[in-house]
Structure 1
Amino acid sequence: MPLKNILVEIRSRICYITINRESKLNALNAATLAELGEALTQSFANADVGGIIITGSGPKAFVAGADIAEFAPLNAEGGRQMAQVAQHQVFNVIEQGSKPVIAAINGFALGGGLELALACHIRVASTNAKMGLPEVTLGLIPGYGGTQRLTQLIGRGRALEMILTADMITATQALDFGLVNHVTEQELLLNKAEEILEKILSRAPLAVAAAIKAVNAAGTPDGFETEIDQFADCFNTADTREGISAFIDKRKPDFKGE
């Protein structure tokens, strides 16, 4: 698929995906979501990629929401299909992916943009970032996982306040709420995301994938069993044997992802 709305670059095992619709504040239309889903699927399948950073083009916005013009002709079935396709092809792909995905939130992350960030495993925001879910001002609710993932991150009360008032919060508030992991100056945003991801990439890749799967199961009836299963499966990997051996030998491990 030729890419018109996103930029994809791989450097030093990091895949950089940039939503590239700066004149539209990087709004997520159907075409952009389709490109994003394809790029994510390819990145997770690419052995040369260890992790992904998602950001927005320009200084004003990460993603300032969905393309509202595409909502106008929809009925209930159209809305259902739009939400299901986006969830299955983009948002769930990120959350359930076997490689770490970091959102580098530069500027506005509203509606579908915040939902995109929420699906990522780790979030870093610039000091000028503003986050919110304004869907109720359109007579809608978040449909790309916002009601679920925001509640899991910051708790029911704060999630309900953000969703029901449609108010934006600052990067500092988002940090206080636990919505983002770090806040940094905008010019240092990608550096911070890279710093975190490079540290993760120095760890055992199969263990990282197992940890993501186990954490994703937290709070479900199978959460503890998933952790036990993933813990046990690690013992079948060469990386676990290498990690234990390196610890005993007091040397740096050489993980192969095997």
Structure 2
Amino acid sequence: MHRLFRTILVFSALSLSIGSAFAQSVDTTQPHSSEVTLVDIPVSPSHKITVERRGKIVLIGINRPNIQNRLDPEAYLALAKAYYDYDHDPSLRAAVLFGYGDNFSQGVDVEGFKAVASSGGVTLGDGLIDPLGKKMPLLTKPLIVAVHGDTWNLAHELFLVADIRVAANNTDFGQDENTHGRFPGGGSTVRFVREAGWGNAMRYILTGDHWTAREAYRMGTVQEIPDPQSALDKAIELANKIAANGPLGIKASLVTAHRVIDPVQAEALSGLDTQRAALYKSEDFQEGRKAEAEGRTPVYQGK
């Protein structure tokens, strides 16, 4: 779906220990533009997260199409680094997040996150911004997310963090963790409710049913629903319009708007990791994983 970008800068693999810092080396074999001012961008053969500068905007790509762009801790932290570098580069004014391949993302790489989730989640140190917006610091610049195909669970929660949302008309949204013995621990129980209203959000969170881009548009979580071939282009068009405006005014607009919602949601978001950690240790979680692997309907006991 997406054309390959000529100039791609890629984040390096993090050490498997979650709090470790990014490597500070650059692979000079990778092509890159001399205009890119993001400093010390590491590179990795894994290419899980890509970053491309286009004038005053930056494109950030989830690049794990072989596993439907599911995010493991390494990819999640690389995304956090991409957000931080964007937010701290004064020459960049808008960012677009997208996914390579047939789907935006099927969400979390459960096996990859299992160890860190049971211990309270990924640790975000200095130089990182939480892509789920659950912890300070938050992004202070505009973020547009363009999704297509499967956009499930964690991926939908990354989508809800955006200031403007574009969903191709083939998007299949899902927030179905409850059908797997888990729960939506990335913020949708707060943001989905806020954006779509209680009944609309609970209709999908509690049943695990999926929904379409048109339904998302009806609920108000999506602003544009173009064809799949033009979804990313639409997001880039919006980003360039934002980038042409006065950056101080844009920043002030976001700051004042956040004063309305941040105090209300901060406490609710802060407890999500603890709740998710408890569920990852439950018998129901193990049953959900076992049933999924065996291709059968899970039998939950509430334990």
Superposed CA RMSD? 2.3
Identity value in percent: 29
CA distance in 2, matches of 1:161, 1:25: 25
Name the counterpart of 2:256: 214
Using the size of structure 2 for normalisation, the TM-score is: 0.67
Name the counterpart of 2:58: 15
Name the counterpart of 1:161: 203
Deviation (angstroms), 1:72: 4.4
Deviations along 1:155-205, one digit per CA (max 9) or x if unpaired, are 111111110011111111111110111100111112211221222122211
Q: Is the 8 A contact 2:80 2:129 kept in 1?
A: no
CA distance in 2, matches of 1:13, 1:71: 34
1:91 paired to 2:132: yes
Relative to structure 1, the CA distance from residue 74 to residue 201 in structure 2 (aligned partners, 3 Å threshold; closer, same or farther) is closer
Name the counterpart of 2:77: 34
Return the match for 1:81 from 121, 136, 139. Answer: 121
Secondary structure of 1:16's match?
strand
- Which ranges in structure 2 are unaligned for 5 or more consecutive residues? 1-21, 23-42, 265-303
Name the counterpart of 2:163: 121
Relative to structure 1, the CA distance from residue 49 to residue 219 in structure 2 (aligned partners, 3 Å threshold; closer, same or farther) is closer
Aligned residue pair count: 218
1:25 paired to 2:68: yes
Deviation (angstroms), 1:70: 2.8
Summarize the alignment of residues 183-222 of structure 1 with structure 2, pairs less than 5 Å apart.
Answer: 183-219=225-261
CA distance in 2, matches of 1:211, 1:95: 17
Name the counterpart of 1:56: 99
Q: Which of the two has greater helix per residue?
A: 1
CA distance in 2, matches of 1:172, 1:95: 33
Name the counterpart of 1:44: 87
1:178 paired to 2:204: no
Secondary structure of 2:218's match?
helix
Deviation (angstroms), 1:94: 10
Q: Is the 8 A contact 2:169 2:228 kept in 1?
A: yes
Deviation (angstroms), 1:48: 2.2
CA distance in 2, matches of 1:167, 1:52: 30
